[in-house]
Amino acid sequence: MRTQSLSGVVLFLLVAMLSYAELPPTLTSVEVGDFGPGGGVIFAVPGQKTSLEVWLQAAPEDWYAGGDPLAALKDARQLADTYAVEATEPALVGNRLSPAGGWRLPTIEELQLLFEARGQIPGLVMPSFYWSSSTAGDGSEILDMFSGYRERGRPDGRHRVRPVRTLIVE
């Protein structure tokens, strides 16, 4: 009888603890500036200043030793690809899903959204141009994180790199 009472108390306490436990936010409650899986910051959410139907996440501030590196375009692509392979953070947290790694150079439109949220993204270097994956002539478009100014970056130019990834609903 005593064992039965004790197991009932334990069950009650377990249910009470679970009902008050802090659950991870659902995708509908995640806002710009929140941290996503693996520590990177969410910088775009559906319906917020965009027609996107996905969430975008910037790589964590410490994604590369010493902060966002300066690199030529070829090296920038390689850095983002290498980070995509080496990132070991969990791909699924709550109902937020990202392909394994999934990190890449942002498009110029995504870089513009990153610029708009720059006050909530730790580690962005300002003033500095950042590479995008959007081609322009023989190079790619770049964007200044201080002014939002866009221009064509030459392939041998050295600009900063911050990978991003898309979070999709399961």
Q: How many domains does the chain have?
A: 1
Domain that holds residue 100: 24-169
Cα–Cα dist 100/92, whole Å: 9
- pLDDT greater than 60 at residue 156: yes
Please indicate, yes or no, whether the overall pTM of this predicted structure exceeds 0.95.
no
Mean pLDDT of the chain: 75
Distance between alpha carbon 55 and the CA centroid of its chain, in Å?
9
Report yes or no: 145 and 128 within 8 Å, Cβ to Cβ. yes
pLDDT in tens, 59-81: 888 888 878 999 998 899 888 88
Q: Is there a domain that residue 79 lies in?
A: yes
User: Does residue 25 have a cis bond before it (omega within 30 degrees)?
Assistant: no
- pLDDT greater than 80 at residue 3: no
Q: Is there a domain that residue 69 lies in?
A: yes
Q: Is there a domain that residue 162 lies in?
A: yes
Q: Is there a domain that residue 9 lies in?
A: no
Strand spans (E) along the chain: 41-44, 55-58, 70-71, 92-93, 96-97, 129-136, 139-144, 150-153, 159-160, 164-169
Question: Tokens 């201080």 correspond to what residue?
Answer: 146
**pLDDT confidence band for 109 (50 / 70 / 90):** very high
pLDDT in tens, 115-132: 999 999 999 998 999 999
Q: What is the CATH number of the domain that holds 59?
A: 3.10.100.10
